[in-house]
Amino acid sequence: MRGNFGLILKKELTDIVRDKRSFIMLFVPVILFPAMFLLMGSQIEKNGQEKQFTYVAYCDTQEDRALYDQIFGALDSDESARIQRLDIPYDQAEEALRRGDALAMLEFQSGVLTYTSSASSTANQAIADEIYKMIEQINQAVAEQPLQQQGIDFGALRPMRMQKAASVGTGSSAMAIIAPMLLVMLIMNGGVSVAVDLFTGEKERGTFESLLTTQTSRMSILAAKFASTLCVSVASMTLSILAYLISFSLSDSTAMMLGGGEQNGADLGLGFGRIVGILAVCLSLSVFSASLLTLLALHARTVKEAQSQTSLLTVFASLLGGAVAFKELSGVSNLSMLIPVYNVIMTIKMLFADMAQGTQVAVTIVSCLVYSAALLMLSTRLLKSEKMLRG
């Protein structure tokens, strides 16, 4: 290429740094992410610490009273569970469940315990599920007592015992669901304002046509402005990942919410290879995003038109991210890894879940770079068309 690529690039990057609004917007995720996840984590932790389990219990038949007293006497004596039985008339119990005043209604009749939990909040439901398990344990202990008195081993009645092991992978964790969507949205949106100003903004100010009259080749101009947009996209990607890591390390509650283990919430659980894969995929998306923004901003005649087109791009990335956030990772074909943006979201999800194959990662990266090259070729042809440069 002929002339002054480095000079133009330096000038554009200097202008970006001097533009306080664009420069500050790059650091918004570093502040917003930790604050948002810290508030969410603290609320979850507060719900777990302060919530008291309140319930109502009823027994209509006298023949069930002895068993009723035995079970609920043990339940009420468990101080660690913060259990409190409420004295509410039976005809008001259902309304108390709807309001969340009582988290469960336990109705004992003819040897059958009917358990109704309140769905007033997810926190209430989690506590109610724990109490349900506790009642089952008490019920089993009550059933074992007469057998033990007769010298019968209750374990002989259960030929097989089951225990639940920890889940393998993080495919359903918040990290595998939220992180890919947020990263793609922020990377796609990171260079929007810069690309619009570098091309369409200069057209409206009349400085772009003046630049074309210099001895600097148009390829050098395009390459420098594309490189400036790419630098901002990469910076947005880096700061977004940094913000996520900061959020992850704030507390055990935020780490568990974002996908960390219960015993060591600050451990991402990602090997070096997967981290490199995620960074490589994000970098390829940054190149694709910068190429697409370059073409859109170069094609637009006014700043308003460019902003409308790039905002549609952001909306598309957001909708696509939300649409595939909960998509199952099994059975993802290599052919689907050719779909732009979708391939990046799915590949990052699979890397977080340790389900990605090397072929899929390679197809995603190579396809993004090929699409980027095609977009830059279109931008080059567009830049050589004089009528497209007149606003």
Q: What is the pLDDT of residue 228?
A: 87
Q: What is the pLDDT of residue 281?
A: 92
Q: What are 262-276's pLDDT values in tens digits?
A: 444 344 556 778 888
Topology annotation, domain 48-153: D-Maltodextrin-Binding Protein; domain 2 (3.40.190)
pLDDT band at 136 (very low <50, low <70, confident <90, very high): confident
Q: Average pLDDT of 141-163?
A: 66
Give whichever of 10-24, 148-162, 372-386 has the largest mean pLDDT.
372-386
Paired tokens of 103: 């988290």
Is the pLDDT reported for residue 370 higher than 90?
yes
Using alpha carbons, list the distances in angstroms from residue 232 to 14, 183, 189, 282.
12, 14, 10, 13
* Beta carbons of 181 and 322 less than 8 angstroms apart: yes
Beta bridge mates, 113: 108
Contacts of 255 (CB under 8 A, 6+ apart): 248, 249, 265, 266, 267
Q: Which amino acid is at 225?
A: K
Please report, for the chain, the start and end positions of each structural domain, with discontinuous segments joined by +.
Answer: 5-41+170-389, 48-153
Strands 112-117 and 104-109: antiparallel
Q: Average pLDDT of 190-201?
A: 78
Burial label for 289, CB within 10 Å (0-12, 13-18, 19+), is buried
Q: What is the pLDDT of residue 1?
A: 45
* Beta carbons of 232 and 190 less than 8 angstroms apart: yes
Please report the DSSP string for 114-149 in residue order.
EEEE--S-HHHHHHHHHHHHHHHHHHHHHHHHHHHH
Is the pLDDT reported for residue 9 higher than 90?
no
> 27-42: b or e for each residue (b if 16 or more CB lie within 10 Å)?
eebbeebbeebbebbe
State CA 313 to chain mean position distance: 20
Secondary structure, 3-state, 58-97: EECCHHHHHHHHHHHHHHHCCHHHCEEECCCCHHHHHHHH
Cα–Cα distance for residue pair 287/294, rounded to 1 Å: 11
* Beta carbons of 225 and 8 less than 8 angstroms apart: yes
Q: Average pLDDT of 347-358?
A: 82
Q: What is the pLDDT of residue 172?
A: 46
Residue 316: Cβ within 10 Å count: 12
Reduce the DSSP state of residue 113 to 3 states and report it. Answer: strand
* Beta carbons of 105 and 93 less than 8 angstroms apart: yes
Q: What is the pLDDT of residue 171?
A: 46
